[in-house]
Amino acid sequence: MSRGKLWGGLIVLFLAGMLTGIVGTCFYHWYEQQHRGEGGPAARQERLMKHLTKELSLTPAQQADIQPIVKRAHLDILRLRVQHQPEVERILTRGIVELKPKLSADQQMKLDGLYAKLQRRWQDSRDYLQAAQERK
């Protein structure tokens, strides 16, 4: 086999691996983005506990001790977010009003859909917080 063919084959193999990595990474980021909000606030709290358990190698006893702390911190953060939500919504609404004239009709509809999805997530958080407070 000639050196040219060998180098050509290695280059093709390298480029194929690089392309596979790029496609895989793009797919992973797309999947994460699609499923990040899935399950609402309760699922986010659960994912946080799983992450802490894995990263810190928590024992079952530690998990039991930490769970109430994570839950309380999670609820405190939600309270803060809900408290400041009107300010965030005013800023976003103003931004959307400024954006729309620069978009096509189709893009405007997509932007409205994205904002509606975000508002549903916010409402889910408010509902979760209210239910958690009522359980107390």
Q: Do 128 and 104 fall into the same domain?
A: yes
- The secondary structure of residue 136, as a DSSP letter, is -
Q: Do 109 and 65 fall into the same domain?
A: yes
Q: Do 32 and 50 fall into the same domain?
A: no
Name the token pair of 133.
């407070």
Q: Do 84 and 112 fall into the same domain?
A: yes
Q: Do 16 and 55 fall into the same domain?
A: no
Q: Which amino acid is at 86?
A: P
Banded model confidence at residue 39, pLDDT cuts 50, 70, 90:
low
Structure pTM? 0.56
Q: Do 118 and 79 fall into the same domain?
A: yes
Those residues whose C-beta lies under 8 Å from the C-beta of residue 103, and which sit 6 or more positions away, are: 111
For 7, the domain range is 1-36
Q: Do 55 and 113 fall into the same domain?
A: yes
Q: Do 69 and 7 fall into the same domain?
A: no
- Give yes or no for residue 38 having a pLDDT over 80: no
Q: Do 66 and 11 fall into the same domain?
A: no
Q: Do 121 and 58 fall into the same domain?
A: yes
Instruction: State the pLDDT at residue 113.
Output: 92
Count of domains for the chain? 2
Banded model confidence at residue 74, pLDDT cuts 50, 70, 90:
confident
Q: Please state, rounded to an integer, the average pLDDT across all residues of the chain.
A: 86
Q: Do 13 and 78 fall into the same domain?
A: no
Q: Which amino acid is at 35?
A: H
Q: Do 73 and 123 fall into the same domain?
A: yes
Residue whose token pair is 């309270």:
79
Those residues whose C-beta lies under 8 Å from the C-beta of residue 132, and which sit 6 or more positions away, are: 75
